[in-house]
């Protein structure tokens, strides 16, 4: 699995974030970023901060597991699709006959006027 590039924070947790002071929120966001990058857990004596971190770290773990399963499933689906010898069996890949009709109309109009003087 490739190195993580991001973590998700959920808007439905805004009330819990509002319960923290700005200093606690700053420490928590930095701890979550470190946890997302290298698994480093927050070490603090602040019970509220510790509890918030444990809930959010658990959510990051669930999100990571879900994403990893999705990646594995997609990789397996790709292998199934391209390891087949006959790709025409897929309904999404259809040989649709194309009919092209070309109609050329040429109108030639010649007018000859002869005047005799």
Q: Distance (Å, rounded) from C-alpha 77 to C-alpha 73?
A: 6
Which residue has tokens 């773990």?
A: 61
Which 3 state secondary structure label does DSSP give 69?
helix
Q: What pLDDT score was predicted for residue 77?
A: 85
> Where along the chain do its domains lie?
11-84
Q: Distance (Å, rounded) from C-alpha 96 to C-alpha 106?
A: 32
Is the pTM higher than 0.85? The answer reads: no
Neighbours of 39 (CB within 10 A): 11
How confident is the model over 36-73, as pLDDT tens digits? 999 999 999 999 999 999 999 999 999 999 988 998 99
Burial 51-60 (b: 16+ CB within 10 A, else e): ebbeebbebb
Percent of the chain residues topping a pLDDT of 70? 73
* pLDDT (average), residues 16-39: 93
Read off the tokens for 59: 């959510």
Q: What pLDDT score was predicted for residue 81?
A: 78
Q: What pLDDT score was predicted for residue 88?
A: 55
Q: What pLDDT score was predicted for residue 87?
A: 54
Say if residue 91's pLDDT is above 60. no
């Amino acid at each position: 699995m490739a190195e993580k590039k991001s973590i998700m924070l959920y808007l439905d947790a805004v009330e819990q974030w509002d319960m923290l002071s700005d200093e606690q929120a700053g420490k928590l966001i930095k701890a979550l970023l470190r946890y997302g990058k290298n698994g480093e857990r927050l070490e603090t004596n602040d019970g509220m901060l510790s509890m918030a971190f444990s809930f959010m770290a658990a959510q990051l773990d669930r999100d990571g597991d879900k994403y990893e399963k999705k990646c594995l499933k997609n990789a397996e689906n790709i292998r199934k699709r391209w390891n087949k010898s006959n790709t025409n069996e897929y309904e999404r890949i259809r040989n649709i006959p194309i009919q092209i009709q070309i109609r050329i109309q040429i109108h030639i109009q010649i007018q000859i006027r002869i005047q005799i003087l």
